[in-house]
Amino acid sequence: MRCKYIIVGGGVVGLSTALHLAILTNEGPEICVLEKDFVGYGNSGRNGGRYRVHFGAEENLRFAIEAIKYLKSIDKLIDYNPLITTTGYLWLIFDEEAYKNMRKHAENFRRYGVPLKEFSAEETFKRYFFLKPRKDLIASFLGPQDGSFHPDSIVYGLRRSCERRGVRIFERTYVSNVIIKDGRVIGVETIPKGFFQGDNIILAVNEDLKYFSDKLSLGIPIEPVRKEIMVTEPFRYTIDVFVIDGQLKMYFSQTLKGEIIGSVKTGREARGLVERENTILWLRYFARALRIALRGSESIRIMRLWSGFYDMTPDSSHVIGRSRDWPEGLYVAGGFSGHGFMFGPYTGKVLAEYVVTGKMPEIAEPFTPERFKTGRLIHETFVIG
C-alpha cells in the first residue's frame, strides 16, 4: 500500500496533522494515519481535559497563547462542540520561594496580556469555600484565561473531518519499524498489514517516541513517566477552577457532570515503557491529599481510575519537526511533558505547514530536536502533576 504521507499515531496530534495536510495539499487519500490500538486510545483519551496559557519559559508561553487561541476556535474546523469553558487555574502557594517565583512570572504574564490575579490566604478561603483552611497558605494566584475542554469531542471531530477529506485511517495497525534507504524514508513495516510505502513519515506517538528514537538513533531524550488519575461520584457543580496545590503536589477540579477529577505526584511514578496500570500506593496518596485539601471529601467514593504517560524531555518542552542529520522525510511531534492535548491541534497545524513548505513557523523554531545537540534547551518549570 502506498501513501504520500504516513502519520504514526491516531491521537490529537496525529489527527490534526493529517487534517491540516489534507487542507494544505488537497490530497486526502494520499494521507494515512496508522494507529496501533484505536483512535484516541492513548494519552488523548487519558488526560484531564484542561488547558492553560501560563508557562514559565517564554518560548512555551508564546506557543501556548497561540495554541489555546486555536483550540478555542477548533469547533469551526471539526463541526463538533468541544465544550470549552474558561474557568481558571488556581495555584495555591505555601512557601516563600514559590511565592517569589510566582510573582516574577506574573510580571511576564502581564506583559503578554494574560495577567494573574493574586489573593491573600484569607481571600482565597473566602472565595473558594470548598477548600479546607490551612494555616501555612501564603497566597493563591488565579489564571482566569485557563479552562477545560472535552477531549473525546475534539478527537472524534478531527477524525470525522479527516475522513470527509479522504484521509485513510487504519486502526489496530502497529508500526514496528521505519524503513530507510539511501538516506531517506521509504515506508513503514506494520503488524499485521505489512509494508506501507511512503515519502513522508510523521511520528506522533507520545511515549512511543522513545522506542522510535532508540531504534532509529534519533537522539531525542524522551523519558515516559506513568501518571495516574481518577474521578469520583458526581456532585453538584461547585469547583469551577482547576486547583494546583503546590504543597500536596496535587491537582483537582470538577467535570461538567459533577465528578471530581484529579491526580497527585507520589515521587515513585514508574518510568520507561511500562504497562498502563493503577496502584494502591497512588490511591492512598491521593485520598490522603484530597482529605487535607477539600471540604467534605472524607466520604466521597472514587469511581474510576486510569493511567497514561507524560513523555518527558530534559527541558519539559515538546519536540516538533526534524534534525538536519535525520533521514529525509522523517518528522516527529512529541515530548509534550504533560501539556500535549492542549497544544495538539495547533501543533498539527504547525507541523503540517512545515512538512509541506519546508519552512518552520517562527513560533515553533525553539522546539526542533536540534536543540538537544546544540544545548539550547528551554527552561520550563511550570509542569503540573
- For residues 204 and 223, what is the distance between their CA atoms, to the nearest angstrom? 15
89 and 106 in contact (C-beta within 8 Å)? no
- Over its length of 385 residues, how does the chain's per-residue pLDDT go in tens digits? 999 999 999 999 999 999 999 999 999 999 999 999 999 999 999 999 999 999 999 999 999 999 999 999 999 999 899 999 999 999 999 999 999 999 999 999 999 999 999 999 999 999 999 999 999 999 999 999 999 999 999 999 999 999 999 999 999 999 999 999 999 999 999 999 999 999 999 999 989 999 999 999 999 999 999 999 999 999 999 999 999 999 999 999 999 999 999 999 999 999 999 999 999 999 999 999 999 999 999 989 999 999 999 999 999 999 999 999 999 999 999 999 999 999 999 999 999 999 999 999 999 999 999 999 999 999 998 889 8
Task: Pull the grid cell for residue 2.
Answer: 502506498
> Domain for residue 212, yes or no?
yes
**141 and 94 belong to one structural domain:** yes
Please give the C-alpha separations between residue 324 and each of 212, 213, 315, 358, in angstroms, as whole numbers: 17, 15, 21, 12
Q: Is the dihedral of CA 273, 157, 174, 334 positive or negative?
A: negative
Looking at the 3D structure of the chain, how many domains does it have?
A: 2
**138 and 229 belong to one structural domain:** yes
Please give the C-alpha separations between residue 193 and each of 34, 167, 352, in angstroms, as whole numbers: 10, 17, 26
**367 and 233 belong to one structural domain:** no
pTM assigned to the model: 0.96
Q: Strand pairing partners for 302? A: 232
**244 and 307 belong to one structural domain:** yes
Beta strand ranges found along the chain (DSSP E): 2-8, 31-34, 50-51, 89-93, 117-120, 139-143, 147-148, 168-170, 174-181, 184-191, 194-203, 223-234, 242-245, 250-254, 259-264, 302-312, 319-321, 330-334
**32 and 169 belong to one structural domain:** yes
- For residues 333 and 356, what is the distance between their CA atoms, to the nearest angstrom? 15
239 and 253 in contact (C-beta within 8 Å)? yes
pLDDT of residue 241: 98
- For residues 365 and 378, what is the distance between their CA atoms, to the nearest angstrom? 12
**362 and 287 belong to one structural domain:** no
- For residues 1 and 23, what is the distance between their CA atoms, to the nearest angstrom? 22
**143 and 229 belong to one structural domain:** yes
- For residues 131 and 127, what is the distance between their CA atoms, to the nearest angstrom? 9
- Total residues belonging to the chain: 385
284 and 302 in contact (C-beta within 8 Å)? no
Boundary residue ending a domain (311, 335, 359): 311
pLDDT of residue 385: 81
> Domain for residue 381, yes or no?
no
**179 and 121 belong to one structural domain:** no
Q: Which domain holds residue 41?
A: 2-68+151-222+314-374
**164 and 179 belong to one structural domain:** yes
> Domain for residue 89, yes or no?
yes
User: For residue 282, what are the contacts with CB-CB under 8 A and spacing of at least 6?
Assistant: 228, 264, 266, 305
pLDDT of residue 109: 97
- For residues 142 and 33, what is the distance between their CA atoms, to the nearest angstrom? 39
- Judge residue 24's burial from the number of C-beta atoms within 10 Å of its C-beta, 0-12 exposed, 13-18 middle, 19 or more buried: middle
pLDDT of residue 189: 98
Rounded to 5 degrees, what angle do the CA atoms 35, 21, 61 make?
90
